[in-house]
């Protein structure tokens, strides 16, 4: 049976895979697992119930799923603080800010409106390790002795949730944003109220798109996965920069004044150099995944910054950051984690600090982005292959070595097997696009020839 938890919680088509019954059951299982240990025992000894923060993005299915989650928690003896519609990083921050025992975010991030998801956060607002998610899954559906009478949990509105988060964000800024014209694309998602307020209070001139959520238009042609509209609006408005969030605002991508996309790699390069100058980049180290562009590695080498690579996924970046106390890491997709201020990727925080650097230096985003030269990259998906045999096939390994030798220091190769389907991803970076394309397809042909599954 496949694992219920994916790379970022439990996700699926709302009211089909992700039902109210499943949400209630997951909440009850999480209440059992996440309220064990000395902390919970001390609460009970003092006559206090465990506390959980619950929040959601604005997609319509979030209403019934959040209601089911809150019911499951309260029926398990957990007091629920309902924060309403707020970004995922806001929920994570609030858990730590008020000393809650754990929290639940109902969101499917950048997915379309019919999908939804449930993410759990531990005490302090940190993501759960796989072993804890597995324990929750193990307890799903197991009948439990639930409390009665005055021992059941209460559900209350978290009245000042937004205000706490806004004050926190503003308190992180190294420099105000006065004089910078920003176009914000909030993806018709969870950032639609908070992001405009924060950027405006911080001094920016703000133009908005994608800030009118109606429950079904989240990520619909707007946000960090659809940047064309933002680029056009920046040019039309004569703005200095465009900032795009995804549906739950844990991502940030940007466009410069000419509408050119500034991805997560370039954002991290800009922030890493700025943080090093201020003495805030722990051990002068940046943590990225293996998918980050070679240009980022070379730029950081020139800046005297060490780069550590992890597997793909922001959770692996987080693990490395937390284990060694590093200050900055993230993904090309725009998940940027600044551990001095957040326990997870925070798109609003990232955007604020990026624009703050523009205001501080007086440079345009295009000028700041010159710190990094992007190497042309191509990703070829080779389907219908025995991806499990990838690492053991010597002919494929020899072909990779040949391409690496041809590229030398001017490129790199990465072959990754899919975790969910018979597919191998071939990624090649080179000094020019034609070389990247040629070598990637050469490797893809070898992979297909060697690992193709029998037809029928």
Output the known binding site for Mg(2+). Answer: 109, 246, 248, 250
Q: How far, in Å, CA of 143 to CA of 147, rounded? A: 13
**Is residue 215 within 8 Å of 58, Cβ to Cβ?**
yes
Q: Return the CA Rg of the chain.
A: 23
Q: What are phi and psi of 65, to 5 degrees?
A: -70, -40
Q: Is 456 exposed, middle or buried (0-12, 13-18, 19+ CB in 10 A)?
A: exposed
Continuous segment of H or E residues that includes residue 424: strand 423-429
Provide the 3-class DSSP secondary structure of residue 146.
coil
Q: How far lies 406's CA from each of 296, 378, 446, in Å?
A: 21, 16, 16
Closest CA to 361 of 271, 283, 284: 271
The gap from C-alpha 439 to its chain's centroid, in whole angstroms, comes to: 31
Sheet containing strand 261-262, strands side by side: 205-209, 181-185, 241-244, 253-255, 261-262
d(CA 334, CA 317): 13
Binding residues: 109, 246, 248, 250
Could you confirm whether 109 is annotated as catalytic? yes
Considering 30, 71, 76, 109, which one is annotated as catalytic?
109
Q: Can you point out the beta strands (E) in 279-405?
A: 285-289, 306-310, 328-330, 336-338, 377-383
Active site positions, annotated? 109
């Amino acid at each position: 049976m496949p694992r219920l938890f994916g790379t970022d919680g439990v996700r699926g088509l709302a009211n089909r895979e992700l039902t109210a019954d499943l949400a209630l059951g997951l909440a009850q299982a999480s209440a059992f697992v996440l309220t064990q240990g000395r902390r919970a025992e001390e609460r009970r000894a003092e006559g206090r119930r465990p506390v959980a923060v619950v929040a959601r993005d604005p997609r319509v299915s979030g209403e019934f799923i959040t209601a089911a989650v809150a019911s499951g928690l309260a029926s398990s003896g957990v007091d629920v603080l309902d924060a309403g519609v707020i970004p995922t990083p806001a929920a994570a921050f609030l858990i730590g800010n008020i000393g809650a025992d754990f929290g639940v975010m109902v969101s499917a991030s950048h997915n379309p409106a019919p999908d939804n998801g449930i993410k759990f956060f531990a005490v302090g607002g940190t993501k759960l390790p796989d072993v804890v998610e597995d324990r929750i899954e193990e307890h799903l559906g197991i009948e439990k002795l639930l409390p009665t009478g005055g021992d059941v949990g209460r559900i209350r509105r978290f009245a000042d949730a937004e205000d706490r988060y806004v004050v926190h964000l503003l308190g992180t800024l190294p420099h105000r944003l006065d004089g910078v014209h920003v176009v914000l694309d909030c993806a018709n998602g969870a950032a639609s109220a908070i992001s405009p307020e924060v950027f405006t209070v911080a001094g920016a001139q703000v133009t908005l798109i994608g800030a009118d959520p109606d429950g079904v238009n989240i990520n619909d042609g707007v946000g960090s996965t659809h940047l064309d509209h933002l680029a056009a609006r920046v040019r039309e408005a004569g703005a200095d920069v465009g900032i795009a969030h995804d549906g739950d605002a844990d991502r940030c991508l940007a466009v410069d004044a000419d509408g050119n996309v500034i991805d997560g790699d370039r954002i991290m390069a800009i922030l890493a150099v700025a943080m090093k100058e201020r003495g805030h980049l722990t051990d002068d180290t940046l943590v990225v995944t293996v998918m980050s562009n070679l240009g980022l590695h070379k730029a950081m080498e020139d800046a005297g910054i060490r780069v550590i690579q992890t597997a793909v996924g922001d959770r692996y970046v987080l693990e490395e950051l937390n284990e060694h106390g590093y200050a900055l890491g993230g993904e090309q997709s725009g998940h940027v984690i600044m551990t001095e201020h957040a326990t997870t990727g925070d798109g609003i925080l990232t955007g604020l600090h990026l624009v703050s650097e523009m205001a501080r230096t007086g440079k345009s985003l295009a000028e700041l982005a010159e710190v990094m030269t992007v190497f042309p990259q191509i990703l070829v998906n080779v389907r219908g292959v025995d991806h499990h045999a990838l690492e053991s096939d010597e002919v494929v390994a020899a072909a990779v070595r040949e391409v690496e030798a041809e590229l030398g220091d001017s490129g790199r190769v990465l072959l990754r097997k899919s975790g969910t389907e018979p597919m191998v991803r071939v990624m090649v970076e080179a000094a020019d696009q034609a070389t990247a394309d040629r070598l990637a397809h050469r490797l893809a042909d070898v992979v297909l020839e060697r690992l193709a599954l029998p037809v029928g």
